[in-house]
């Protein structure tokens, strides 16, 4: 729009050089739009910046009055930061500052150094014409600045959303077991410390269950690790269904799982543990070529006030191995 208006003005005024210059500028912007569409943002910016510099200086050298076109040099500042940021240019901030300094130097040259009467054409510009061009150019620059700022903020928000999403994904990977989808040992160790602190402050009881699949190595050796993974995933699914929303379930590692039963006494914890054991015992695990049954041994320990996590775990671990030695497929408190 700007160049079309200047082209019309220069044609009517008989300023052929300025008219030709604007035709070149309009052709260049068609090319720049093509580059932007191809995501060649860095090249597009440098082309746009050079065009703005060239055109501003050209108007000043061709005419005695720049008709306020030096205002467009201000646009180079947000334009450089926006395009170089979106293009992910290395060292984009120093490069943007350099472009801004060049634009400032050009502005100061046109406004304060270039002497009147040194232009190629000396045309009479009326006050009304000067006002019209001034308001027109100021309005375009103003809305240009608003647009660049809005786009820049939008781009930053998109980047923040992306990084937030990536951080969530990384956090999920760091705290979850990839095979079963359960939270992992790292996540458990953070949770158990909070649970102990909460129990100490509120007096609420909780039970810790250590669940180990019986003879799981034999399953892997006989049917292969792929079928072993099926058993792990199915047991994880059973445990999910049999725990309450306020309970916490984790894959400890290998063939072991742990559960924190919150706000529960020993009797109810024993009932929950026995239901889990019985459910797994009756479950038919459908492997790739056959169906098998598996059992688990569960070591259970009620938290005692003042007890450390290591002591709690050792109690459950001792109970679990006691059950292994006494025939497996049982719950030991």
**All domains of the chain in start order, with CATH:** 2-171 (no CATH), 185-332 (3.30.70.270)
Tell me, yes or no, if 255 is annotated catalytic.
yes
Residue pointed to by tokens 């000067």:
130
DSSP state of 37: H
Pairing of strands 296-302, 331-332: parallel
At residue 17, the pLDDT reads: 66
- 89 to 83, 84, 150, 294: CA distances (angstroms): 9, 5, 20, 58
Bridge partners of 299, per DSSP, are: 210, 332
Whole-angstrom Cα distance, residue 132 to residue 112?
Answer: 22
Q: Which helix (H) or strand (E) holds 259?
A: strand 256-262
Model confidence at 8: pLDDT above 80: no
pLDDT of residue 210: 98
State the pLDDT confidence band at 55, using cuts at 50, 70 and 90.
confident
Q: Which two tokens stand for residue 230?
A: 């099926």
CA angle 33, 37, 38 (to 5 degrees): 120
Determine the Cα–Cα distance for residues 320 and 209; give it in Å rounded to an integer: 9
d(CA 213, CA 292): 13
Q: Is the pLDDT of residue 16 over 80?
A: no
Give the separation between CA 331 and CA 320, rounded to whole angstroms: 8
125 pLDDT band (50/70/90 cuts)?
A: low
Spatial strand order in the sheet of 256-262: 248-253, 256-262, 206-213, 296-302, 331-332
Q: Which of 276, 209, 291 is nearest to 249 (CA)?
A: 209
**Cβ pair 319, 299 in contact under 8 A:** yes
Instruction: Provide the pLDDT confidence category of residue 174 given band limits of 50, 70 and 90.
Output: confident
CB 301 within 8 A of CB 258: no
Average pLDDT on 177-201 reads: 92
Mean pLDDT of the chain: 86
Pick the catalytic residue: 255, 284, 289, 307? 255
């Amino acid at each position: 729009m700007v160049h079309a208006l200047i082209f019309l003005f220069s044609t009517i005024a008989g300023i052929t050089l300025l008219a030709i210059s604007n035709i070149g500028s309009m052709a260049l912007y068609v090319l720049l739009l093509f580059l932007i569409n191809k995501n060649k943002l860095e090249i597009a910016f440098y082309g746009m910046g050079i065009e703005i510099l060239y055109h501003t200086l050209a108007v000043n050298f061709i005419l005695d009055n720049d008709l306020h076109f030096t205002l467009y040099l201000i646009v180079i500042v947000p334009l450089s930061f926006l395009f170089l940021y979106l293009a992910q240019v290395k060292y984009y901030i120093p490069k943007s500052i350099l472009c801004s300094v060049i634009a400032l130097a050009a502005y100061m040259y046109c406004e304060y150094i270039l002497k009147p009467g040194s232009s190629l054409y000396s045309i009479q510009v009326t006050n009304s014409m000067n006002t019209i061009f001034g308001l027109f150019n100021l309005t375009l620059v103003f809305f240009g600045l608003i647009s660049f700022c809005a786009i820049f903020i939008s781009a930053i928000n998109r980047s923040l959303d992306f990084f937030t999403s990536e951080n969530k994904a990384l956090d999920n990977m760091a705290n979850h077991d990839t095979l079963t989808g359960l939270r992992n040992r790292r996540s458990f160790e953070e949770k158990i410390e909070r649970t102990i602190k909460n129990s100490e402050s509120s007096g609420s009881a909780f039970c810790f269950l250590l669940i180990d699949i019986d003879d799981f190595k034999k399953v892997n050796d006989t049917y292969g690790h792929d079928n072993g993974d099926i058993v792990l995933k199915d047991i994880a699914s059973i445990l999910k269904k049999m725990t309450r929303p306020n309970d916490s379930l984790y894959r400890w590692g290998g063939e072991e799982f742990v559960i924190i039963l919150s706000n529960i006494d020993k009797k109810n914890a024993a009932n929950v543990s026995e239901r889990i054991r019985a459910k797994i015992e009756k479950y038919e695990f459908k492997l790739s070529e056959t169906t098998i049954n598996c059992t688990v041994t569960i070591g259970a320990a009620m938290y005692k006030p003042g007890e450390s996590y290591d002591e709690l775990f050792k109690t459950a671990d001792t109970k679990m191995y006691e059950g292994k030695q006494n025939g497996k497929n049982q719950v030991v408190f």
